[in-house]
Amino acid sequence: MDWFEQYESEIRAYSRAYPAVFVKGQNAKQWDETGKEYIDFYAGAGVLNFGHNNPKLKAAMMDYLAEDGVLHSLDMMTAAKRDFIQGFVETILQPRKMDYKLQFMGPTGTNAVEAALKLARKVTGRQNVIAFAQGFHGMTLGALACTANGYFRQAAGVPLNHVSHCPFETNVGGGLAMLDTLRALYDNTSGGAEKPAAILVEPIQAEGGVNVASAEWLQGLDKLAKDLGALLIVDDIQAGCGRTGQYFSFDEAGIDPDIITLAKGLGGLGTPIAMNLVKPEHDQHWQPGEHTGTFRGQNLSFVAGREALRYFEDDQLMNAVHDKGEIMVGALEQMAQTYPDAGFSVRGKGMMQALDVGDGALAKAVARECFERGMLFGPCGVGGSVIKLIPPLTIPEDELVAGLEILSEALAACMKG
């Protein structure tokens, strides 16, 4: 590890929490160079929805490489991109009667958010954006202005302007009453608030602590945006692509976003890709080449992503996600009930589940204990007090149970002090 400690930037984070050199991954397991095995309940923050080295996705990529397929193409037309677009439209959009243009930009979620913000401001001619407490949208300056975490914001070095943060539904002061307050403020011609260009929201705040918005609140937000002439931007970067048991985390909410940002699990195998779904009437505001990105034509991501879409051609995987999600909920609720005086709480949806232990130091200690016992997860939420579990959707049930047992044992060890 000396090479990392001596030469890699001080910015590194996860490697400090998990001091191992990983060399191999298969589905929900990783191995370090000593041969130690780990069950992965983090899955690249949702990038590896279909597991490490998924054989179907890997085979498609290897075949493409063997045939000398075009790897980099800026935004030129390729057969790989066409296959991905066709697969996404036919498998995801058409069954839902959703009408969107597909915009590819730089390869990360923050690029998707930047493009969405830029377009919302072009469409409306307005500047300000409404975002929410505990929201996370990325590290580049526009997305960072919408991100609420003070630790990340203080690194910007410049003012993070043109964004107003409001309480999320689950925050004190949030909920439908907050939406009524916002509406009254903007309806008041002497309210002093300019109408926003967009409202940006995660239906499930992943990094913010796995805070789940209700359908009623999301519907209220959708209506408010439309009444104000603002665009509703839904950030489904971590909670989308099947994580919750539906392709979109908001599938059951009955909302009609203007822009949907996707990344992470979209490529399936860990190759970088980001994509925005944009209503056609808004997309027409773009001029050719007005928003670019060198790696918006990453064809290996299109190849793997097209293969990943086949998981959504029937209900088999999503039914399994529901079943495994119930196993996760049951195990976490049992942990919470074991320590009734601690005030632990369980929340989540599908295979994004969390145990809020209310103490960042405890969550960090549990993460380290899990690492020592051969299980990986990442704390999140305010002060890192939430144990977030997002294993690959394809994890075998016995490995899922084994990982939850490690977590239970680690929590017990830490609670004993």
Length of the chain: 417
Which of 293, 312, 331 terminates a domain? The answer is 312
Residue in 314, 307, 312 with CA at minimum distance from that of residue 80: 307
pLDDT of residue 410: 98
pLDDT of residue 417: 73
pLDDT of residue 136: 98
Which of 312, 331, 350 terminates a domain? The answer is 312
Residue ranges with strand state E in 183-235: 198-201, 204-205, 211-212, 231-235
Which residues are within 8 A (CB) of 88 and not within 5 positions of it... i.e. 6 or more apart? 102, 305, 309
pLDDT of residue 256: 98
Which of 288, 312, 336 terminates a domain? The answer is 312
Q: Tens digits of per-residue pLDDT, 109-159? A: 999 999 999 999 999 999 999 999 999 999 999 999 999 999 999 999 999
pLDDT of residue 276: 98
Asked whether residue 41 falls in the same domain as residue 124, the answer is no
pLDDT of residue 327: 98
DSSP element (H, E) containing 225: helix 215-228
Whether residue 404 contacts residue 396, with contact meaning beta carbons closer than 8 Å, is answered with no
Which residues, given as ranges, of the chain have pLDDT below 50? none
pLDDT of residue 305: 97
Asked whether residue 163 falls in the same domain as residue 76, the answer is yes
Domain count, the chain: 2
Q: What is the CATH number of the domain that holds 361?
A: 3.90.1150.10
Asked whether residue 19 falls in the same domain as residue 71, the answer is no
Asked whether residue 65 falls in the same domain as residue 77, the answer is yes
pLDDT of residue 177: 95
Q: Is 48 helix (H, G, I), strand (E, B) or coil?
A: coil
Asked whether residue 37 falls in the same domain as residue 126, the answer is no
Q: What is the CATH number of the domain that holds 166?
A: 3.40.640.10
b/e 90-115 (16+ beta carbons within 10 angstroms → b): ebbeeeeeeebebbbbbbbbbbbbbb
Asked whether residue 216 falls in the same domain as residue 243, the answer is yes
Total-model pTM: 0.97
Asked whether residue 344 falls in the same domain as residue 246, the answer is no
Asked whether residue 290 falls in the same domain as residue 191, the answer is yes
pLDDT of residue 1: 79
Domain housing 407: 2-54+316-415
Q: Where are the alpha helices (DSSP H) in 289-415?
A: 299-309, 316-338, 360-373, 397-415
Task: Give the other-Cβ count within 10 Å of 48's Cβ.
Answer: 27
